[in-house]
Amino acid sequence: EYMGAVAGVDNHEPRAEESATHAMRFAVHCLALMHHYKHSYGGAVKELALRIGLSTGDVLGGVIGKRKFAFDLWGEPVNLAARMESAADAHGICMTPNTAQLLTGFPGEFRASRVAVKGYGMLEVLKYRPARAELRACSTAAHLEHCRTSFVDASFLHDVFGF
C-alpha cells in the first residue's frame, strides 16, 4: 500500500480547481499505466488492482524525525483521502463531494454512493471509473513518455516498472 500527495497544497480560489484537476489527472494516468501493463504483459500484473482516494482541503505539513528526516502532511483531507481509497472499487477513484465539485471535463462515469467510513460514519462519496477510451488514450507510448517526464522521477519508474 502506498499513499502520496500529488497536487499543490493550495485550496484557495482559483487554485483549488487547478490542484484538484491535477490530482485527478495524475490518478487517471496511474490507472492508465496499470491498464497498459495489464494488457501488455498480463501474468502477475493482472493480479494488481489500484484504488485511489482523493480529498481536498487545508493541511499542515512539516518535517519529522531525529535521525532520519521525512516530510509529512496532517489534516482531515489526508485522513479522508485514505478512507476514500479504502472505499474505492478496484481500478477506480473515490472522492469526497467537495473534491468532485472542483472537477470538470472528465469523460468517465461519476457515481454517487453512501459508504460506511471508519471514524466518520455513513458518508456520501463519488466513485469515478475512467472511460475505456480515456485509459487507452492515456496509455499510448507518447503519452506514457509524457507522464514519465512530467509527473515522477525517472529512476522511480525504472525501479518500479522497469523502464
SS (H, E, C) the chain: CCCCCCCCCCCCCCHHHHHHHHHHHHHHHHHHHHHHHHHHHCHHHHHCCCEEEECCCCCEEEEECCCCCEEEEECHHHHHHHHHHHHCCCCEEEECHHHHHCCCCCCCEEEEEEEEECCCEEEEEEEEECCHHHHHHHCCHHHHHHHHHHCCCHHHHHHHHCC
- Select which of 15, 51, 67, 83 is catalytic: 83
- Select which of 118, 127, 136, 148 is catalytic: 118
Examine the residue annotation and report whether 118 is marked as an active-site residue of this protein.
yes
Examine the residue annotation and report whether 83 is marked as an active-site residue of this protein.
yes
Annotated catalytic residues are 83, 118
